[in-house]
Amino acid sequence: MFAKEVYIARRATLVGKMGENVPQGSRGIALFIGNAESPAQYWDNAYKFRQDSSWLYYFGLDIPCYAAVIDLDTAEETVFADDVEIGDIIWMGPQPSVASLAAGVGVLHTAPSGELGNVVARAISQGRPVHYLPPSRWYNTLKISDLTGIPVAQVKEKSSDSLTRAVISMRLVKEQCEIEQIDDACALGYEMHTVARNNVKVGRIEQEVVGIMEGVTLSKGWGVSFATILTQHGETLHNHLHDKVIEDGKLMVIDAGAENNMHYASDFTRTLPTGGRFTTMQKDIYRIVCNANELAFSLTRPGITYREVHLATARLMLEQLRDLDLVRGDVDEMVSLGIAGLFQPHGLGHNMGLDVHDMEDLGENLVGYDSNQIRSAQLGLGSLRMARKLVPGNVVTDEPGIYFIPALIDKWKAEGTDRGFVNYAKLEAYRDFGGIRLEDDVLVTEDGARRTGPYRLPILPEDVEEAMGNALS
C-alpha cells in the first residue's frame, strides 16, 4: 500500500468533487464494494484474488469481502468487514483486526459486514442518493442489488454518473507515487519480454515461451496484467492460442504485460522474426510500423488529442504503404475515408494504470473521450479507446500495427469498401504475411512525453536482429 496520507487525500478530493454544485445535506453516500474471491470449481478452490481497482485506489486494502461508505455530506468514512474467527485462524493464522487495517489507510470507523445493509437502507429511507460505480463482477452486481433493492438487470445502468465521472477525472491523472509503480511494472515487463525474445527458437512450442515469460512476472510481481498474446498468426489481433511449433521465416507477435505487487500494469508489444532475421518483405512493413510508433511518441504532449495522434500515424502508414504500391491515390482522402482501417483495424492506444485498459469497467467512452468528442464509426478509428486531449499525468499506450487479414481483405474487395484505393493484386503476396504490432507505454509530461520504465525494448529492426542473434549465439 501507499502511505495512508495518499488515500486520505484521494477520498477528500473525491468528496470535494461530489460536493460541487450540490447543496450540503443532499449529497448522499458513496458506496464502494471490494471484490470477493471467485470460485474456480468450488468455494475453497478460488481463482487468484484480484481486488477491484477503484477500491484499491481509494482504500488500498487488498483483502476480499471489504466494503466502505463515504458520507458525502459529513465526509465520515466507514469500512465494513468481519474480523476472523477461530475457524479462519486455523487455516490462515492470526490476522490483523479490521479496525487496524482501516486505520492503516486513514479510516477511523469500522463496522461488521452485516451493518452495511442497515446504513444503505437508512440512506434510502431518508431519500438520500446512494452513489456507486458500475460493477464489472457478478458478485458486486448482486451485492449492490441486495443492498439497494435495484433489480439485478438495472444495477449497471443505475450506477452514479457523477461518481463515475469524478473517479475517472482523478484516476486519469497519475500521481508521482503511481508513476513510480508503473515504471516498476514496466521494468518487470521489460524483463519478461527479454526472456521471451531469448527463448524464441525454431522447433519450440509457443506455450513453452509463454510459460517461461509468465514465470518472470510471478517470481517478482502479481502476474500478467492480461492474457498473454504470443503468436505466429498476428493477423488475429487477440490470438491467445499457444499450441503452434515455431517455424522459420514467421513473425512472432508478443503482446504481454506485467502487473506488479501494487497492481499497476505494463503493456508492451514486439514483433520478432522467428529465425532471427527479417525477410525483405517483413522489414519493409516493419519499418512502417516502427516509424508510426516513433511519430506517435514525437507528437504526444499536453494539449493534443490522442485522436489527432492516431490520425497522424494513419496518414504516415498510408503514405508508406503507397510507396510499396499497396494503396494508390490521394492520402488525405484515404485518411478521411478510413482506408487505414483495412491494415490497422484498432486504435492507436488506451489508458493504462491500475488496469491495463485503465478504468474501462467504468465506461470506455467516459474514460477515453472528452465531452465534445464523438466516437467514429470507421473501422480502426472507431476502436480508438483513448481519444482525449492529453494532460500531464496521462499514461497511454503507443501501439500502431499493420495486419493482413485475408477475410477482411476479401470482404472489402467484394463490397468495394476501399473506393478503389487498395491494390488487391499486390496484396495477394501478403495473404499469409500475418501482422506486426509495436507497443510502448508513454507518460505525458509537462513539456512532452517519456516512455515509462527504466529501459526500452529493442525496436529498430537491426537492433531486434542483433538482440536475437546474441541470444542464439
Q: What would the pLDDT profile of 3-14 be if each residue is shown by its tens digit?
A: 999 999 999 999
Among all chains, which residue has been given the C-alpha cell 461508505? 69
pLDDT of residue 471: 65
* pLDDT tens-place string over residues 101-153: 999 999 999 999 999 999 999 999 999 999 999 999 999 999 999 999 999 99
pLDDT digits (tens, 9 = 90+) for 149-192: 999 999 999 999 999 999 999 999 999 999 999 999 999 999 99
CB atoms within 10 A of CB 393: 17
pLDDT in tens, 56-102: 999 999 999 999 999 999 999 999 999 999 988 899 999 999 999 99
Q: Which three cell numbers stand for residue 462?
A: 537491426
| Phi, psi for 135 (deg, rounded to 5) | -80, 150
State the pLDDT at residue 25: 77
271 grid coordinates: 514483433
Residues counted in the chain: 473
Amino acid, res. 211: G
pLDDT of residue 399: 98
| % of the chain residues with pLDDT over 90 | 96
- What are phi and psi for residue 398, nearest 5 degrees? -120, 95
Residue-wise pLDDT for 218-268, tens only, equals: 999 999 999 999 999 999 999 999 999 999 999 999 999 999 999 999 999
Q: What share of the chain is helix, strand, coil (3-state, %, to 5)?
A: 40, 15, 40
- For residues 398 and 357, give the distance between their C-alpha atoms in angstroms, rounded to a whole number: 13
Average model confidence (pLDDT) for the chain? 97
List of domains in the chain: 4-171 (3.40.350.10), 176-472 (3.90.230.10)
* Whether residue 472 has pLDDT greater than 90: no
Phi then psi dihedrals of residue 193, to 5 deg = -70, -35
For residue 155, CA distances in Å to 53, 123, 138, 428 come to 19, 17, 11, 50
Supply the pTM of this predicted model. 0.97
pLDDT of residue 334: 98
461-472 vs 176-198: helix crossing angle, rounded to 10: 60
426 has pLDDT over 90: yes
Quick: pLDDT tens for 7-48: 999 999 999 999 998 888 789 999 999 999 999 999 889 999
Q: Residue 468: helix, strand or coil by DSSP?
A: helix
Other C-beta atoms closer than 10 Å to the C-beta of 135 total 20
Mean pLDDT, residues 328-348 taken together: 98
Distance CA 68, CA 33 (A): 7
b/e burial code for range 433-470 (CB count within 10 A of at least 16 → b): bbbbbbbbbbbbeeeebebbbeeebbbebeebbebbee
What is the spatial distance between Cα 337 and Cα 331, in angstroms, rounded to a whole number? 10
